[in-house]
């Protein structure tokens, strides 16, 4: 098998060559930390494959919003992830919400879910 050509790390001024991905291992961690600071660790979790898979499965079992019986498209944690990270993929700790009920819940008690006023304004 021919060697795949290495590409330079995408981090400014870094000269390391990488086999795959945009960054060398050192800058991959660094870029991830910067991403977390900008978007928040919540954003990373909600874009992770395990969560996306769980969410799809959960909504297929619970297709209706528990608040208004409309079509659900959001899975909400009953115990916040921050307090019970061990339950973040537990069916018993989740409930289906539609977009408007979900944003109402976050607007009411945003700080508990790690979503501050800044994120709410831009959402």
For the chain, list the strands marked E by DSSP: 7-8, 17-18, 74-77, 94-97
- Of residues 70 and 85, the one with the C-beta less far from Zn ion: 70
Q: How far is the CB of 99 from Zn ion (least distance, A)?
A: 8
Q: How far is the CB of 50 from Zn ion (least distance, A)?
A: 25
Q: How far is the CB of 100 from Zn ion (least distance, A)?
A: 6
- Of residues 19 and 83, the one with the C-beta less far from Zn ion: 19
Beta strand pairing call for 17-18 and 7-8: antiparallel
CA–CA dist 79, 6 (Å, integer): 45
Which positions touch Zn ion (CB under 5 A)?
9, 11, 14, 16, 24, 27, 65, 67-68, 70, 98, 101
Those residues with Cβ within 8 angstroms of residue 102's Cβ, 6 or more apart along the chain or in another chain: 74, 76
- Of residues 14 and 87, the one with the C-beta less far from Zn ion: 14
């Amino acid at each position: 098998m021919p060697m795949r050509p290495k590409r330079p790390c995408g981090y400014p001024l870094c000269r390391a060559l990488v086999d795959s991905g945009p960054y060398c291992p050192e800058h991959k961690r660094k870029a991830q930390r910067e991403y977390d600071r900008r978007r928040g660790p919540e954003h990373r979790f909600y874009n992770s494959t395990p969560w996306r898979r769980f969410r799809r499965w959960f909504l297929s079992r619970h297709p209706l919003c528990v608040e208004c019986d409309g079509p659900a498209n959001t899975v909400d944690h009953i115990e916040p992830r921050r307090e019970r990270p061990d339950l973040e993929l537990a069916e018993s700790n989740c409930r289906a919400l539609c977009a408007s009920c979900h944003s109402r819940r976050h607007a009411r008690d945003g700080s508990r879910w790690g979503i501050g006023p800044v994120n709410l304004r831009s959402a």
